[in-house]
Amino acid sequence: LFFSVCHPQVKMDLKLNSFSWNPMEPFIFTAASEDYNVYTYDTRYFKFPRRVYRGHTNAVLDVDYSPSGREFVTGSYDSTVRLWDCNRAESFDVYHARRMKRVLGVRFTLDTKFILTSSSDQNVRVWKAHASEKIGPVQPREKASINAAEALRDKFKDHPEVKKILKRRHLPKSVLAASREHAIIRAKHRRKERNIRVFNKKDLDYYPTTRPHSVLPTNGVWITRHVNGLLSN
């Protein structure tokens, strides 16, 4: 591809398995990385990723945007499919099946209603983009009831019991155990880096951070440092 303006390169420690352009904002793309994370970049400002999405416990193999541009879906080697809101760093839903192996490909349908996934168990599965959404015609009274329930849920979404119901997802034991282990490792790195800032008397050329989206210019090439508490050096 040739551009009238030279764009910097983004070089990562581990390879990118896939990326997808936002259909509504063509200057934004989201990349699925081997380091278990998903990164959204703005081509107009490559200095930092626009957002980093965490949740998978193994390499992210594919990513695809919804035609609306507000959501995207990822498939991972950890045998789960996650749905993300572009403005939130945590996935709002997780899909998995007992016999489903690592997810190799994911696609949104053009009506934004369904998600297609392919996995290494040689199956293609169809999932609803929103698990609670009704499929088929909806009567006006039923639509009003659904809207009232959604408004009530949004009103009390910060209540502890409601928040627990909204956020809790049943996960395979291996994924749940890996998620807890990753959280402990990230907390350890944050604690270590906080101590370095407090007790180190020398001026540091580089302030360590657990946020894996510091991009440093090196010989004209932008290098993204992945210090996410899991794959840091």
pLDDT per position as a tens digit, 123-172: 999 999 988 888 888 888 998 998 998 898 888 888 888 888 887 788 88
The predicted-structure confidence for 64-80, as pLDDT tens digits, reads as follows 999 999 999 999 999 99
CATH number at residue 66: 2.130.10.10
Parent domain of 15: 10-133+172-225
Q: How many CA atoms lie within 13 A of 101 on its CB side?
A: 6
Q: Judge whether 141 lies within some domain.
A: no
Q: Judge whether 145 lies within some domain.
A: no
So what's the pLDDT on residue 134? 84
Structure-token match 């760093």, residue found = 89
Q: Judge whether 209 lies within some domain.
A: yes
Q: Judge whether 65 lies within some domain.
A: yes
Q: Judge whether 32 lies within some domain.
A: yes
* Cα–Cα distance, 95 to 147 (Å, whole number): 25
Q: How many domains does the chain have?
A: 1
Q: Judge whether 123 lies within some domain.
A: yes
